[in-house]
Amino acid sequence: NNTSYWGGGGIFIGGSTLIINGGNISNNTASETGGGIYAENSSFTLDSVTVSNNTASGSGGGIYSYENSESTIKNSFISNNTSSNVGGGLTSYRTPIFIYNTVIDSNESTNESGGGIYIDQTPGAGVRVIDSKISNNVANQGGGIYFHGKLILVNSYLTNNAANEKGGGFVSCCGADVTMDNVTITGNTTNNAAYGNGLLITGSSANQISVANSIIWGNDFGNITFDQNGEGADGHVLNVNYSLVGGGQDSITTNGNTINWGSGNTDADPLFTDAANNDYILQSGSPAIDVGNPNAFYND
């Protein structure tokens, strides 16, 4: 229940190191950035922490990490945070982040991009999201994730996110380098049928996207979409292997970009146990069982 007239309604971290084990960072407000946490030129770790119901009039409703900061978020919840600008749950500018076993749920960017996560130009190791769930977030673009940088996304779910304009689940923009392994993207929606719901690839600089051992299915208005967006954005490359993509390769309009449709792909119904109630365990007989690449990119 704290208020900052600049950044970091709950916690401001500047040029230092902070480790938090357990606890809640909730109901805080920032007039600018980082409703819950603002970090700059710092290192911070959150372990078993709930960041919820925070508000920023700028970016990063829950967390705002900026310029040479390095963060680890594990075993945590980032939920019900709101920003007027980008990143309802989490915003990161030019900072590497490791997110593990964390739920990012029901956050909102009311006027901009990245309801759950907004990432811009991450250096070095980039961003790693492993064993996490990004669900029920809302934004104008990129309801779940809006990404520009280097991302490794593994053993994770992007479900039931929504965008008012484009990219309900995931927007990869502007020269992003994205690797997905064992990721499920389903149930995401948008109000604009032309701009896709599952994975939208956009921007005037070429994106490199690799998808393996994953399910992208059941997203309204398209599971994978290339968007030129008036920017002459030819040159994107999408590699898909050992994955289930609704509609298959023929459902993806290339718009002058490249799809490398590799081995082991299918477009069949994955047979989730009860998607309507968020149970994405595969039923016996699912076409997605025992068909992944045995030489997986990532192993537990």
Regarding whether 119 and 264 lie in a shared domain, the answer is: yes
Give the model's confidence band at 226: pLDDT under 50 very low, under 70 low, under 90 confident, else very high: confident
Regarding whether 290 and 160 lie in a shared domain, the answer is: yes
pLDDT for 192 beyond 90 = no
What lies within 8 Å, CB to CB, of 27 at 6+ separation is: 1, 52, 53, 54
Q: What is the pLDDT of residues 139-161, one digit of tens each?
A: 999 999 999 989 999 999 999 99
Q: What is the pLDDT of residues 102-139, one digit of tens each?
A: 999 999 999 999 999 999 976 566 899 999 999 999 99
- Domain count within the chain: 2
**DSSP secondary structure letter of residue 179:** E
- 193: three-class secondary structure by DSSP: helix
Regarding whether 150 and 62 lie in a shared domain, the answer is: no
Antiparallel, parallel or unpaired: β 17-21 and 97-100: unpaired
> Considering 61, 96, 131, which residue would you say is the last residue of a domain?
96
What lies within 8 Å, CB to CB, of 182 at 6+ separation is: 154, 155, 156, 212, 213, 214, 292, 296, 298
* Distance, CA of 176 to CA of 103 (rounded, Å): 23
Cβ(86)–Cβ(163) below 8 Å: no
Regarding whether 163 and 87 lie in a shared domain, the answer is: no
> Considering 70, 96, 122, which residue would you say is the last residue of a domain?
96
Token duo for residue 291: 């068909």
Regarding whether 185 and 120 lie in a shared domain, the answer is: yes
Give the model's confidence band at 42: pLDDT under 50 very low, under 70 low, under 90 confident, else very high: very high
Give the model's confidence band at 229: pLDDT under 50 very low, under 70 low, under 90 confident, else very high: low
Regarding whether 153 and 272 lie in a shared domain, the answer is: yes
Regarding whether 265 and 159 lie in a shared domain, the answer is: yes
For the ranges 9-18, 27-36, 102-111, 170-179, which has the lowest average pLDDT?
Answer: 170-179
Regarding whether 29 and 124 lie in a shared domain, the answer is: no
Q: What is the pTM of this model?
A: 0.94
Regarding whether 280 and 155 lie in a shared domain, the answer is: yes
**Residue 29 maps to a domain:** yes
Regarding whether 122 and 47 lie in a shared domain, the answer is: no
> Considering 44, 71, 96, which residue would you say is the last residue of a domain?
96
**Residue 270 maps to a domain:** yes
**Residue 221 maps to a domain:** yes
**Residue 103 maps to a domain:** no
**Residue 229 maps to a domain:** yes
**Residue 300 maps to a domain:** no
Regarding whether 267 and 141 lie in a shared domain, the answer is: yes
**Residue 107 maps to a domain:** no
pLDDT for 300 beyond 70 = no
Q: What residues make up the domain containing 81?
A: 1-96
Regarding whether 270 and 132 lie in a shared domain, the answer is: yes
What lies within 8 Å, CB to CB, of 132 at 6+ separation is: 99, 100, 101, 102, 103, 104, 156, 157
**Residue 105 maps to a domain:** no
